[in-house]
Amino acid sequence: MDNVKEQKCKNCGAPLRFDPESGLLVCDNCGTKTEIPAELKESEVVVNGLDYNELAQQVTDENAENLPVYRCVSCSAEVIAPAEQIATTCPYCGNNIVLTDKISGKLRPDGVIPFRIDKKHLPDAMNSFYKGKVLMPKRFFSESTMSKVTGVYVPFWIFSGRLDGVLRYHAESGTTHRNGDYLVTNTRHYEVRKHADLTFRDVPVDASGRIDDVLMDSLEPFDMADEKPFDMRYLAGFTADRFDQAKSEVADRAKNRMVNTVENTVLSSVLREYGAAYRTGGDLRAQLKARYLLLPVYLFSIAYEGKDYEFAVNGQSGKVVGDVPTSKSVSAGYFGKRAGVVAAVIIGIFAIKYLLGA
């Protein structure tokens, strides 16, 4: 038996899918709806054959012959799965399957944030995203081609912890007074030491080397209050990836974000006391821990004039991030109009001064 777990309707045997709007497993064939229990029974985790570490050693290149192969229980077709993928759909019968050997033991996620936004609402989200983008080509809607939208549970390390230490600054404060025809400024210089101690919670860092980090960072925030204990049934009807970057490999990304927050916070407090300041030294110590979650993301691209523009949608909030082309003609006209308005304002100011005899 392969390391495959199916989600099938108990009434008609058709594939089940997780419905983001109802939070239930739904059968599109007979309409049966099933609740997902709070905890996953241990008997529902099927693990046979190779464990993931042994399996990963077999994947030496991108040739299909070297990729792990799983057998669909419904139609017996052999399904090729990349090393990072933990949930997929059989291309022959459409059955939703979870590759259980990749989510067991230490590879099992600590939790999952289920999809809340249904795919059918993405056009509305995209229209809101496009609104106000005045430099976008007018023909982008009519002449672009949208790729298939894929709902993916993206692996994330969620970091929490504490940063503490001492930061040093050179600060200045000054006073100015008039002495005859001169303005005299007295400047005082200070060496400032500030102790910092801040606690952080739930800083997400994507753990997939295949997905653009900037795109994933831009999707925040995710509401961690929606986190559920991991249950493979939430994956039904979606693709899911396993992490391919260990938490030790991405911990610096989380730490750097925390450090920037601490430095900006402390500098703001120094500037409230002094007129000017800049960092001269100091160090921050980090004590971090992380848990492994799967977060909901829709991924797709839009092709326009021979170029693909990558997009992502937060499957929980509906936030859209991505890039759009800029029309040179629209851009030139837009900035030309703005330059004309500015010139008209300047001319008007000089005309008023002339009429007033200034």
pLDDT tens per residue, range 70-103 = 666 676 666 656 667 777 776 556 667 777 767 7
The answer as to whether 346 is a domain residue is yes
> Which pLDDT score is estimated for 51?
36
Contacts of 113 (CB under 8 A, 6+ apart): 222, 223, 224, 226, 227, 228, 293, 294, 295, 296, 316
Domain match, 34 and 70 both: yes
> Which pLDDT score is estimated for 62?
38
> Which pLDDT score is estimated for 244?
84
Question: What are the tokens at 348?
Answer: 């008007």
The answer as to whether 22 is a domain residue is yes
Count: domains in the chain: 3
Domain match, 93 and 169 both: no
Domain match, 320 and 237 both: yes
Q: Report the candidate in 334, 336, 317 with the shortest Cα–Cα distance to residue 326.
A: 334
Domain match, 247 and 319 both: yes
Q: Within 13 Å of residue 244, how many CA atoms lie on the same side as its CB?
A: 14
> Which pLDDT score is estimated for 57?
38
Domain match, 82 and 128 both: no
CA distance 236 to 14: 12
What are the tens digits of pLDDT across the range 260-275? 999 999 999 999 999 8
> Which pLDDT score is estimated for 4?
56
CA distance 29 to 11: 10
The answer as to whether 351 is a domain residue is yes
Domain match, 334 and 300 both: no
Residues of the chain short of pLDDT 50, as ranges, are: 1-2, 40-67, 330-339, 341-343, 345-358
Question: What are the tokens at 322?
Answer: 């991505």
* Residue pair 211/250 in contact by the 8 Å Cβ criterion: no
Cα-to-chain-centroid distance, residue 330:
31
The answer as to whether 118 is a domain residue is no
Q: Which domain holds residue 64?
A: 4-108
Domain match, 75 and 174 both: no
The answer as to whether 117 is a domain residue is no
CA distance 337 to 195: 51
The answer as to whether 116 is a domain residue is no
* Residue pair 321/215 in contact by the 8 Å Cβ criterion: yes
The answer as to whether 115 is a domain residue is no
**Among 108, 143, 166, where does a domain finish?**
108
Domain match, 94 and 148 both: no
CA distance 193 to 351: 54
93-119 in b/e burial notation, b at 16+ Cβ within 10 A?
eebbbbbbbbbeeebebebbbbbbbeb
β-pairing, 24-27 with 16-19?
Answer: antiparallel
Domain match, 136 and 94 both: no
Domain match, 252 and 189 both: yes
> Which pLDDT score is estimated for 126?
84
**Among 49, 80, 108, where does a domain finish?**
108
> Which pLDDT score is estimated for 43?
34
Q: Report the candidate in 226, 288, 286, 244 with the shortest Cα–Cα distance to residue 262.
A: 286
The answer as to whether 113 is a domain residue is no
Domain match, 189 and 221 both: yes
> Which pLDDT score is estimated for 238?
87
**Among 108, 131, 159, where does a domain finish?**
108
Domain match, 104 and 135 both: no
